[in-house]
Amino acid sequence: MTRLRTITTVLAISAVLIACSGDDAAQTVTSDARDSADGFGDVEVGEDAEAPASEPDRGVAEDADESNRGGATAIAQANRRVIRTAELTLEVEDTAAALDEVIATADRVGGFTATSDLQRDIDGVVSGTITLRVPSDELNSVVEALEAIGDAVPVNRIDERDVTMESADLRARIDNLTAFERELTALLADVREETSRPEDLLAIFERIRSVREEIDVMEGRLASIDEQVALSTVRVTLQPTERIEPFSDTGWAPGETFREALAATTRALATIADAAIWLVVTALPVALTILIVPVLLIVVLVRWARQRSRSRPSREHTTPPPPSPPSEPPTAPAS
C-alpha cells in the first residue's frame, strides 16, 4: 500500500513541476535582480546617514545611480537573444556576376548558401532568390556589402524577433523535467527491489518515457532557437535592370511596308492552304465515316421497297359490259 501511495504521489507531483517550470524562470530572474540590489545595499553607514545630503553629494549619488542603471541595461542587452532576418531586392545589369558576388560576400564572413531558387533564360540572364546564412554579428556588414552590389535596392528590410524569455522558459522546463526524470529513475530502482508486480514497473516506465519525450522536444526547440540566433538569414532577390531603348523616328519606308504586306499575304494564303489540307485530310474522311451508315441504310430500304412492289400480283382490270338496247313498246293486235 505504501509503494502504491508513493508512485501515485510522484506522478501527481510531476504535473505540478511541469506547470511551475515557466514560473521558475521568472523567479530566477527576479532573485538575480534582488541579489544585485542586496549587493548595493550592504554598505554600513554611521549615525549621520539620516541627515539630508548636501547638493554636491546628492549629485554624486545621482550619477552613481545612473551608472548603475546603465550597467544593468548593458547586461540586459548582452543577455538578449534575438533572431534577425534580412530581405533585399537587388536590381543589376549583369545578374550572373552579381550572383557570384553575393555568394562570395557570405563566404568572406564565414556564412554559406542555404537555398537557392534561380532561373537562367536563353540570354543568360539570372533571376530569382538566394538564401544566405551568416553570423549574426556580421549581418549589418553583409547587408551593406550587398547594397553596394546592386544598381538599385527597392527592398531593404531587417526584422528582429526577441526570444530571450522563450529560451529561458525552455531551459527552466528542461532542468525541472531532467530532475524529475532522475527521481523517477531512482524510484524505479527502489520499486524493482521491493516488488515484482509488472503493473507497478510499467507505470513508472511509461512516465519516464513521457518525460523523456517532452525533454527531447524542448531540447530540439531550444537548439533550433540557438542556431537561428547564432546565424541570421538573408534572402536576396536578383532582378535584371530594365533597359529602355532610345526612340528613333525612321520615317516612311515603302519597302518595309511592301515586305510587311507581302508577309501578311503569304500568311493568309498559308492559312487558306492549311485549311484546305485539313478539310481534305481530316474533315472529309470523318464526314464520310459518319454519313456512310445512314446512306447505306437508305439504299437498302429503297431496294427493299422496290422489290416488294414488283412481287405483288398485278390486278385484273375488267371492262364494263356494253349497254343493253332499249326495249320496244308492245304492239297492239290486229283487228
| Sequential pLDDT tens for the chain (335 residues) | 454 455 555 555 555 444 444 444 444 433 443 443 343 333 333 344 344 444 445 555 555 555 555 554 445 455 788 999 999 999 988 888 888 999 999 999 999 999 888 888 777 787 889 999 999 999 999 999 999 998 889 999 999 999 999 999 999 999 999 999 999 988 888 888 887 678 878 888 899 999 999 999 999 999 999 999 999 999 999 988 875 455 455 567 787 888 888 889 998 999 999 888 988 888 888 888 888 888 888 888 888 888 888 876 554 445 555 666 555 555 555 54
Instruction: Look at the block and give the residue holding cell 536576396.
Output: 236
Angle at 161 between CA 77 and CA 170, to 5 degrees: 80
Nearest of 204, 206, 205, 213 to residue 177 by alpha carbon: 213
Residue 13 in contact with residue 183, Cβ under 8 Å?
no
pLDDT number for residue 201: 83
Residue 238 in contact with residue 90, Cβ under 8 Å?
yes
Residue 39 in contact with residue 68, Cβ under 8 Å?
no
Alpha-carbon gap, residue 306 to 312, rounded angstroms: 10
pLDDT number for residue 9: 54
Other CB atoms within a 10 A radius of the CB of residue 211 amount to 21
Angle at 225 between CA 221 and CA 230, to 5 degrees: 150
Give bridge partners of residue 239 from the DSSP assignment.
Answer: 91
* Signed CA dihedral, 19, 22, 24, 30: sign only: negative
CATH topology of domain 80-161: Alpha-Beta Plaits (3.30.70)
196 phi, psi to nearest 5 deg = -120, 15
Alpha-carbon gap, residue 276 to 264, rounded angstroms: 19
Question: End-to-end CA distance of the chain, in Å?
Answer: 174
The 8-class DSSP code of residue 136 comes to G
Nearest of 313, 308, 7 to residue 184 by alpha carbon: 7
Nearest of 50, 54, 72 to residue 62 by alpha carbon: 54
pLDDT number for residue 39: 39
The domain limits of the chain are 80-161, 256-302
Burial class (CB in 10 A: 0-12, 13-18, 19+), 46: exposed
User: How far is C-alpha 178 from the geometric centre of its chain's CA atoms?
Assistant: 36
